[in-house]
Amino acid sequence: MMGSYIEIKKKKFMQTIHYYLLSGLFALLAISCNNSNAKNKENDNTKKSVNMKFEKVALPYATDALEPVISKQTVELHYGKHHQAYVDNLNKLVVGTKFENADLETVVKESDGAIFNNAGQILNHNIYFTSFKKDGGGEPKGKLADAINEQFGSFEKFKEEFNAAGVSVFGSGWVWLAKDQDGKLSILKESNAGNPVTSGLVPILGFDVWEHSYYLDYQNRRADHLKEIWKIIDWDVVSARY
């Protein structure tokens, strides 16, 4: 009698253990299902929020085409990483704002804060990276050449003034050649993400004086970088902006 009582107790005990083990297993399954659902949901949201509306301009030359003025490594980092980061940031930042369906120039003109900083840098770098070509250099063409000669005396004098402005930008920023609606040219110094469009002007040529644009190739020698960069300008493209 005693033996069978113990057997029954044992059986009941084992049934209880099985019950708890099975419940535990179901609970684990339920949790893991929920997790994978949550993950899928997260992926959907990420896809939705990064709509890739804003894109960087295609590079119109190989990454080593600007050597030795700008190294392949600098182009890869500057175009591939820095410029890409501005694009990725803006695509996330505009979600749910009035800029979600605006064109890039409108965003630059009407925004401030983080949206302005990233939008400005996309516009700046799109202009910058399309201003160069392999074996570029030489002098401006057509009406732009005439306007530069008329306003600055000569191309050489313009370059001097432009480089002096670029050297004197304190910290990170840009030096721009821009035109107003009457075609009058001006040299502008902008800090950080500044672009002449915010002053109602049309950007013609912009040199990036953020350290990321020259530090690997010239270290602290910004002036040397600015002297060299004229050797890679694509004056067909730049003159057509005038």
Find out whether 95 and 52 touch, Cβ atoms under 8 Å: no
Beta-carbon contacts of residue 71 (< 8 Å; ≥ 6 apart): 64, 216, 217
Query: Is-contact 211 231, C-beta < 8 A?
Result: no
CB 54, CB 87: distance < 8 Å: yes
Give the amino acid at 177: L
Indicate the residue among 136 and 173 with the shorter CB distance to Mn ion. 173
Nearer to Mn ion, 111 or 213 (CB): 213
Task: Return the number of other C-beta atoms located less than 10 Å from residue 240's C-beta.
Answer: 13
Q: Rounded CA gap, 227 and 6, in Å?
A: 96
SS3 86: helix
Give strand pairing partners of 190.
174
Single residue of 79, 132, 152, 210 touching Mn ion by CB under 5 A: 210
Residues 8-47: x/- map of binding to Mn ion (CB under 5 A)? Answer: ----------------------------------------
Cβ contact 125:231 at 8 Å: no
Q: Which CB atom, from 208 or from 234, has the smaller least distance to Mn ion? A: 208
Q: How far is the CB of 224 from Mn ion (least distance, A)?
A: 18
User: Smallest distance, Å, CB 32 to Mn ion?
Assistant: 45
Which C-beta is closer to Mn ion: that of 145 or that of 167?
Answer: 167
Which residue minimizes CB distance to Mn ion? Answer: 208
Query: Candidates 14-22, 165-173, 189-197, 210-218 — which segment interacts with Mn ion by CB under 5 A?
Result: 210-218
Whole-number Å distance between alpha carbons of 177 and 190: 11
Q: Which is nearer to Mn ion, 152 or 174 (CB)?
A: 174
Residues binding Mn ion: what is the number (CB under 5 A)? 3
For Mn ion, what does the binding mask look like between residues 168 and 207, x meaning CB under 5 A?
----------------------------------------
Residue placing its CB nearer to Mn ion in the complex, 74 or 239? 74
Structure tokens at 32: 């893991």
Say whether residue 208 binds Mn ion (CB under 5 A).
yes
CB of 37 to Mn ion, least distance (A): 41
Closest separation between CB of residue 212 and Mn ion, Å?
5
Who contacts 1 (Cβ-Cβ below 8 Å, separation ≥6)?
none
DSSP 219: T
Q: Which two tokens stand for residue 67?
A: 């050597």
Which residue's CB is nearer to Mn ion, number 208 or number 217?
208
Residues that bind Mn ion in the complex, under the rule CB under 5 A: 208, 210, 213
